Amino acid sequence: MRISQLAGAFLPPCLDRKRARTAAGRRMPLSMTAFLGASCIALAACGGQGDDQLGEQAQEAAENRADTMDAAAENMSGTAEDMMEANADATREAGEAKEEAIDESDVNAAAMTNAQKEAIINGQ
């Protein structure tokens, strides 16, 4: 077995000129293979508008508020403590819901001003 044959054994069919075939069994032109590869790379880059990071920041801000509520609940007792802990849990859940909503909305966070980002993070 030659080295070129051995190297071809490890290539996926779309990159191996000898094995790159269309559904009809004909050879796929190199230009078509290159186009398909470039298309896959372009699709993989979609969706990077910064909304994931913005959603995480909003969730983290809610988590920090909930931690503050939990710390205050430690200085309370009875019903007040239970209510404060319930508020902290609700704040955490709201932060997670806000993160999901931001991520699903596909906002272009890169085009937003810092003031707009802060307003979304802090719920204003």
Question: Is-above-0.75 flag for pTM?
Answer: no
Q: Is the confidence at residue 59, as pLDDT, over 80?
A: yes
Which residues contact residue 27 at a Cβ distance below 8 angstroms, ignoring those fewer than 6 apart? 17, 20, 21
Shared domain check, 58 and 34: no
Question: What is the domain range of residue 30?
Answer: 3-44
Contact 69, 87 (CB under 8 A): yes
Task: Work out the angle between the directed axes of helices 78-105 and 51-73 (0-180°, nearest 10).
Answer: 180
Contact 120, 61 (CB under 8 A): no
Shared domain check, 117 and 65: yes
Under the banding of pLDDT at 50, 70 and 90, the label for residue 121 is confident
Shared domain check, 55 and 14: no
Shared domain check, 83 and 27: no
Closest alpha carbon to 92 in 60, 62, 47: 62
Shared domain check, 16 and 55: no
The number of domains in the chain is 2
